[in-house]
Structure 1
Amino acid sequence: MIKPRVVVTEVQVEKGSIDFIPSYSNEFELYEDDIPKGASPLSMKKLAETKGYKLVAANKGCYNLFFVRKDCMHDLSELTIEDALKNL
């Protein structure tokens, strides 16, 4: 089983700290702005935690979240979704 030390995910930052995962659709349209395309930061953090990862960073726009495997955290601090969203 592959367990990377670091995982980077793209999230639907517009959903903020709401627990949101869009329904799957065969009719996916890349450029329809009114249809959500990805999971919220909170939903992705919850999923990562079930897999053994902690949120440690977000890029400036908060659309990329950086997770580190728990056994590799060492001196890193866990980041809350609220703190990550301050980068907006």
Structure 2
Amino acid sequence: MEETEISVIDAALARLEAAVNRIDAVVQHRLETAAEPDDRDAELALMDEDRARLAAALDAASARLAEVTATTGQVGHRLDRAIETVQDVLGRR
């Protein structure tokens, strides 16, 4: 064999090895990606649990806000009546 033929064969073998390495990397990536749906499913389940927990907390906070608003309104009404009573008493003197 001539030196040119050897270098052509060496170049072809190098390209073949590079192609095999790329195929190996793609297969490895696909195997890793195939394992990820379980991780994604678990992550989605956790996100759903968090969403449900946050929704319940928001509902509880909204209910508490409604209670506080109602109480504030009642206190305001009582204060208005008390102020009117004090003004009436002071006005009669």
TM-score by length of structure 2 reads 0.17
TM-score by length of structure 1 reads 0.18
Going by fraction, where is strand more abundant, 1 or 2? 1
Of structures 1 and 2, the one with the larger relative CO (CA 8 A, separation 6+) is 1
Going by fraction, where is helix more abundant, 1 or 2? 2
**Computing the radius of gyration over CA atoms, which structure comes out larger, 1 or 2?**
2
